[in-house]
Amino acid sequence: MERARFITIFFIGFTHLVVSQTVDVQYDKYSSTAAYAGRKLEKSLLGQGYQVKGEQVDYSINLTLDDKILDKEAYAITREGNHITITGGDGKGLIYGSLSLAEDLGNGVSLEKTKARNQIPNLAFRAIKFNLPWDAYREGYAMDLHMETCRSVDFWESFLDMMAENRFNALTLWNLHPFTFMIKPKNFPEASPFTDREMKEWQDLYHTIFRMAKERGIETYIVNWNIFVSSEFAKAHNVALENLKNRIHYGIGDTSEVVKRYTRESVTQVLEEYPNLSGLGFTHGEAMRGMTPAQRQDWFKDTFIEGIRLADRKTKLIHRIPLLADNDAEQLTRDAMEELDFLEGPIWAEVKFNWSHAHSTPKFIKVHGGKLGDTYFKPEPKNYKIAWMARNEDFFCLRWGEPNFIRKHISTNTQSYVGGYFVGSEGYIPAKDYFTKITDSVDWKYAFQRQWLFYKLWGRLLYDPSTPDAVFEAAFTRRYGKEGENLLQAYSLASTVPLRLASSFDFTWDFSLYSEGFMAMNGQSMDYISIDRQIEQQPADPNYVSVSDYVKKRLLGESFSKDRITPPVLANMLEKDCQMALRLIKNIDIDKNNSLLYEVADIKVWANLGMYFAEKLKGAEALQTYRLEGGEKNKQNGIKHLQNALGFWDKVIVITSPLYMEMPLAAYSYPHEGNASVINDNRKFHWKKLRPEVAKDIVIAKNTVVESNGQ
């Protein structure tokens, strides 16, 4: 409520100019998408002081469809005198056109100054990956704490509004076995753990989510891992018993006929009971141990695919690419997708971009399991399109936004066989805000609202990569007035820090790197990245050079080409951008706005983490030089730079301690003798908790000796 009042006051100068003007908004009230577009536009008009409807009309706005002149999801705004027409190629385009005009109004542009414009979507599939907290892939407190929030209709209404505003057009909901919460299987009622009343509550929630999404032009998909069944089903039929052991991800695939039938019938029943659900997705992955790629593909053909075929409706499909890099498996999967001719296409073939860390380099380096060949791309697929999974496992607390990185990502990776992107996390659910200490008078309620810039940049740029920075700068101005003028540029500079860390530090799965915490997996635990680890770790991006390789080659009198990013070059880039970011926010007045306080603080944190990283790289180079060549000056330089690094880490602690609570990290698990052991369930993160490890780098430097074998 405080947020809404602030916006009204801020734009009162504009509303005085139009308070007596009346607008008639005409739209098809029987179309759910047109009605949503009309309501959003009317709300914006009222917010800027216009009257909606009246005896005498000063302006008329007509919302109409024309799929003959406009593509799907495209829109055009035209004006003749005091008559404005918003035309959509479909209902989604109509929503986007209406939101575009509403955005103008929010920026203080009167109807009198409305300019004609049009936009067409760059990518057809712009999805959010959302892991649900019930029967969750990751276990433990960090998931469970979102349960109440994610069962709230108000939360989903806000989240879906955000998606529509930012031009996301698909919501994908993920958990191990979704059917338990959506249906009471007709032929397997024993599979349900719920009473009729409890089942209805779950069904009402799903029906409401799917209905609200459809109104906003958003497709919905449920995506699962395999082969999971409910505990009740497993016990009743004495099958899939490994499903009972903490819902382990590494279980043996149970392909019993009763499991196949249950899965197949559940697929059909879900599709028939939820007409607003757009489609399903499945994974060649968990709980399928011991099965060959061919056996896994046969499983899906007999269960999911057959269940879809038997349903009395058309369905869309997300077909996740097998979680391994293998030419035979790739060809098998491609052939299977090309044979599916009864789906509402195209099939979205999901591929993890750079495994779990898309926020690294925009170069396509690896997928889950290693490098990917060109089997899926050559020849050009006919029945499917690649949809990159842009996973974020690198920053959950700190706000982030670097538009040029996203533009580069899109321009580099949207070949003709690419249909779109997923954006989201595995180890983080953007629902309950468990970060914020100062909750008074902030303009967010839910976690995703804290990261508004992240979603706005990804969504708007996936829709149209040519969207200028002015659009995002205006969003800051709407929120903070004149104090917001430099924030986009400052974020763009400071947000390079995690990208550069992840480009310079090789990774694999989710917890192999956590960039905002400068943590990485060390054996079976996630720890602070020590100075020794920083020296030896090879980069993810082959254009980067590790500290160990750089020092070794330099001491041999050799050099790297100018396009390579060596540790000194990287340190200089970090210092330059982070110092500029700090200068841009130096004079911002944060005393009267707690939301702005957090925005500015996060830029400061990223910038100081970047300065810490630069000093650490300098210390690493000096220390490794001492180890290989000797020279007391090298050792002392290493100690000095690591002391400087600790100083910047201490600044991060000073900034974050009054603002952020200790944050639970998602639990992870490892296979052990066929079972999985859950690790890290009670661990909480805060930069202050890592200070002893940061200080230990200095001790390591002081105790370092020259290696006996020299160079």
For residue 130, give the 3-state DSSP assignment. strand
Q: How confident is the model at residue 1 (pLDDT cuts 50, 70, 90)?
A: very low
Location of structure tokens 């971009």 = 353
| Contact present, 510 and 668 (Cβ < 8 Å) | yes
Q: What is the 3-state secondary structure (H, E, C) of 242-279?
A: HHHCCCCCCCECCCCHHHHHHHHHHHHHHHHHCCCCCE
Q: Beta strand pairing status for 668-672 and 675-679?
A: antiparallel
| Contact present, 226 and 322 (Cβ < 8 Å) | no
Give tens-digit pLDDT for 470-483: 999 999 999 999 99
Q: Which one has a higher pLDDT value, 224 or 710?
A: 224
**Least confident residue range of 53-57, 488-492, 689-693:** 53-57
**What is the Cα–Cα distance from 597 to 634, expressed in whole angstroms?**
41
User: What are φ and ψ of residue 316, in 5° steps?
Assistant: -95, 160
At residue 54, the pLDDT reads 74
What's the mean pLDDT in 326-330? 83
| Contact present, 625 and 530 (Cβ < 8 Å) | no
Given a cut of 70, whether residue 6 has pLDDT beyond it is: no
What's the mean pLDDT in 261-269? 98
Q: How confident is the model at residue 245 (pLDDT cuts 50, 70, 90)?
A: confident
Q: How confident is the model at residue 677 (pLDDT cuts 50, 70, 90)?
A: low
At residue 323, the pLDDT reads 78
**What is the Cα–Cα distance from 304 to 271, expressed in whole angstroms?**
11
**What is the Cα–Cα distance from 159 to 151, expressed in whole angstroms?**
13
Given a cut of 90, whether residue 401 has pLDDT beyond it is: yes
Q: Express as a percent the part of the chain with pLDDT over 70.
A: 95
| Contact present, 165 and 272 (Cβ < 8 Å) | no
**What is the Cα–Cα distance from 690 to 695, expressed in whole angstroms?**
9
Name the burial class of residue 562, with classes exposed (0-12), middle (13-18) and buried (19+) by CB atoms within 10 angstroms of its CB.
exposed
Given a cut of 70, whether residue 372 has pLDDT beyond it is: yes
At residue 611, the pLDDT reads 99
At residue 708, the pLDDT reads 72
Q: In the predicted model, what is the mean pLDDT of the chain?
A: 94
At residue 510, the pLDDT reads 94
Give tens-digit pLDDT for 386-397: 999 999 999 999
The beta strand positions in 89-238, using DSSP E, are: 117-119, 125-131, 170-174, 219-223
Given a cut of 90, whether residue 195 has pLDDT beyond it is: yes
Given a cut of 80, whether residue 117 has pLDDT beyond it is: yes
**What is the Cα–Cα distance from 512 to 540, expressed in whole angstroms?**
12
Given a cut of 60, whether residue 466 has pLDDT beyond it is: yes
**What is the Cα–Cα distance from 164 to 674, expressed in whole angstroms?**
44
Q: How confident is the model at residue 9 (pLDDT cuts 50, 70, 90)?
A: very low
**What is the Cα–Cα distance from 294 to 351, expressed in whole angstroms?**
19
What's the mean pLDDT in 148-156? 98
Location of structure tokens 């009054």 = 658
Give tens-digit pLDDT for 443-459: 999 999 999 999 999 99
What residues contact residue 707 under an 8 Å CB cut-off, 6+ apart?
627, 628
At residue 328, the pLDDT reads 85
What's the mean pLDDT in 405-422? 98
**What is the Cα–Cα distance from 471 to 104, expressed in whole angstroms?**
10
**What is the Cα–Cα distance from 709 to 628, expressed in whole angstroms?**
8
What's the mean pLDDT in 333-361? 97
Give tens-digit pLDDT for 626-644: 999 999 999 999 999 999 9
> What one-character DSSP code corresponds to residue 694?
H
At residue 95, the pLDDT reads 98
What's the mean pLDDT in 66-85? 97
Spell out the domains of the chain, with CATH numbers in brackets: 2-119 (3.30.379.10), 125-467 (3.20.20.80), 496-703 (no CATH)
User: What are φ and ψ of residue 511, in 5° steps?
Assistant: -90, 10
Using CA atoms, how far residue 361 sits from 128, 347, 507, in Å, is: 20, 27, 12
Location of structure tokens 């349960």 = 147
Location of structure tokens 């011991």 = 290
**What is the Cα–Cα distance from 401 to 488, expressed in whole angstroms?**
8
Orientation angle between helical segments 403-413 and 452-463, nearest 10 degrees: 30
